[in-house]
Amino acid sequence: MNIRVLPPDVQQRIAAGEVVERPASVLKELIENALDAGAQNVCVDVQEGGRRLIRVTDDGCGIDPGEVPLAFERFATSKISCVDDLASLRSFGFRGEALASIASVSRVRVLTRTRDSLLGTEARLEGGRVVSLGEAGAPIGTRFEVWDLFYNTPARQKFLRSLKTEYGHILRVFTDFALAFPDKYFSLTMDGRELHGFPSTTAAERVAAVFGQQAASQLEEFDEIGAWGRIWGFAMTGDAIGQRRVYLYVNQRPVRSPILQRAVTEGLDGMQGLVVLFVDAHAAEVDVNVHPAKTEVRFRQPHDVYERVRHALKRRTRAFNSPYLKAAEDGADYNALDFKLLGQVEDTFLLLLHDGHVYFLDQHAAEECVFVERLRQGKAGRRDLIAPQIVTLTDEERAFIDTHAEAIAACGFGIESFGPSVAALRTIPEMVSPKDSARVFSQMLARARSGREDFAQALSCLSAVKAGVSLERERQERLVADWRRTANPHACAHNRPVYHRVALDEVRRKVGRTGLSCEFDQKNHNHVCLSGETQNVE
């Protein structure tokens, strides 16, 4: 047979196989580009397991109009300029093949705008070829849409797995980056349903948000620094986890590493557990150019890395050591404690006394804690309305209600449609007053649609008593009793402290009550302290 060079279009489709294995690998490349562009907000939208559509929208720096076509050329990149740059690489991509490979096996639409441009640029490509290019209105940043993945390579399309499997891979990629960048906002929508919305926060709080409230009380952290870098992260252990789940990051890049996996197993002493491990290494100490997708790494000192990871995990400590979780660490059953209610302060805090401590209980946070537990356990009561409350809806709100009908019903709302733009509330949660029900329902929808809260969080916050509201004694006592019975009395629905505790011993020290006593000199109207100091009190 004659030897010949393959045509460029065939070369591109073969190269695409190194980067584009499935929809999740496309998503990975697009999120990496968004982060490299300095995005603070990354919004992901997928349809039909990513086969129909993968859309990533960011608010990064955008692409200059003249460089948009160049972005789809092979070996075109803004991330390195010479071989020496590879030794100090800090960005995700640098090969300059991702966009070219993705475009060669799909239909692509990109809409982008830089801060210096009044108008954006829109480009459409099919099979790697630009079919249209021009100006268009656009926000600052980039929206990258990949339609009909593998439409021109049906053999590869047939080897995609079920929708459930492909969605599983997509969710793992999204979770990988959401954990690695807690300072960024991430949202994920699948087939029109918003699954996740993670606001900017701390690393520990992002882990708790991703893996649920259980993480807030059980999460442990570890941290160790060496000459070549830092090893840190979070772990939860126990049979309740079900299976070992490990998330590995090297310089914030999600990776696979047999060495790190073995170190985690040793560090957990073979227990089941969840581990989120970060290795922050000097660029010269790690090689990320091992795999075309840059998912595997090599360390210059693998044995040292192994030992430090293993040692760090064995020395892990509780992550949330704030006062409101410390009581949970002590194993206290708040329902069994003898709290004495002292009263209300500034119509905001309930003062409680127990075992030499004064508790400043935030009345809003406490009731929110009660309500969210009832909602999530399906124990929240509901009431039928004699006169239905009317709510006007936009098309987007109507679609959102239809998508989340089951979750909304679980909150206690019974809805009857009066047409495309009007709905009637026939049943409402017991925690909501009838006159406020339409307003609360609309605000709950808005907050849930933002992706920053689920329905239970939003509804419990909207329904709980507000700061500045005076409560009668009976209502105060009922709130304290309900709060004490919750499974987690230390944090509200948004993981904010419910109370602040002050030791009376500390108060005594502040006012000099430790080791001293004062007597009142009736004759001279002076306070005479046994320390010998006399203070006139006239």
The per-residue pLDDT for range 196-228, each reduced to its tens digit, is 888 888 898 888 888 875 566 678 899 988 777
CA-based nearest residue to 248, from 259, 236, 237? 259
Residues 357-373: tens digit of each pLDDT: 899 999 999 999 999 99
Residues in the chain: 538
Q: Is 295 helix (H, G, I), strand (E, B) or coil?
A: coil
Residues 372 and 443 in one domain: yes
Could you give the count of Cα atoms lying within 13 Å of 65 in the half-sphere of its Cβ? 13
Q: Give the Cα separation of 400 and 250 in Å (integer).
A: 38
Cα first-last separation, the chain: 113
Q: Other C-beta atoms within 10 Å of 78: how many?
A: 18
Residues 254 and 147 in one domain: no
Cβ–Cβ < 8 Å for 438, 390: yes
CA-based nearest residue to 106, from 52, 142, 62, 65? 52
pLDDT of 98 over the 50 cut: yes
Residues 136 and 219 in one domain: no
Cα dihedral sign, 513-515-519-524: negative
pLDDT of 520 over the 90 cut: no
**Residue with structure tokens 């935030």?**
362
Residues 438 and 353 in one domain: yes
* pLDDT confidence bin for 536, thresholds 50/70/90: very low
3-state secondary structure string, 367-433?
A: HHHHHHHHHHCCCCCEEEEEEEEEEECCHHHHHHHHHCHHHHHHCCCEEEECCCCEEEEEEEECCCC
pLDDT at 507: 81
Residues 236 and 90 in one domain: no
Q: Give the Cα separation of 130 and 68 in Å (integer).
A: 10
pLDDT at 89: 54
Q: Flag whether 446 is in a domain.
A: yes
Residues 112 and 247 in one domain: no
Residues 441-455: tens digit of each pLDDT: 999 998 888 777 889
* pLDDT confidence bin for 43, thresholds 50/70/90: very high
Q: Can you give the residue range of the structural domain that contains 343?
A: 332-386+430-502
Q: Flag whether 45 is in a domain.
A: yes
Residues 186 and 222 in one domain: no
Residues 6+ apart with CB under 8 A from 227: none
Residues 175 and 117 in one domain: yes
The per-residue pLDDT of the chain, averaged, comes to 83
Q: Flag whether 401 is in a domain.
A: no
Distance of CA 300 to the CA centre of its chain: 33
Residues 138-189: tens digit of each pLDDT: 999 999 999 999 999 888 888 888 888 999 999 999 999 999 999 999 999 9
Residues 141 and 81 in one domain: yes
Which has the higher per-residue pLDDT, 117 or 530? 117
Q: Is 519 helix (H, G, I), strand (E, B) or coil?
A: strand
Residues 381 and 490 in one domain: yes
Residues 121 and 240 in one domain: no
CA-based nearest residue to 277, from 285, 291, 265, 287? 265
Residue 59's domain is classified under what CATH number? 3.30.565.10
Domains of the chain: total: 3
3-state secondary structure string, 220-276?
A: EEEEEEECCEEEEEEEEECHHHCCCEEEEEECCEECECHHHHHHHHHHCCCCCEEEE
Q: Give the Cα separation of 294 and 311 in Å (integer).
A: 27
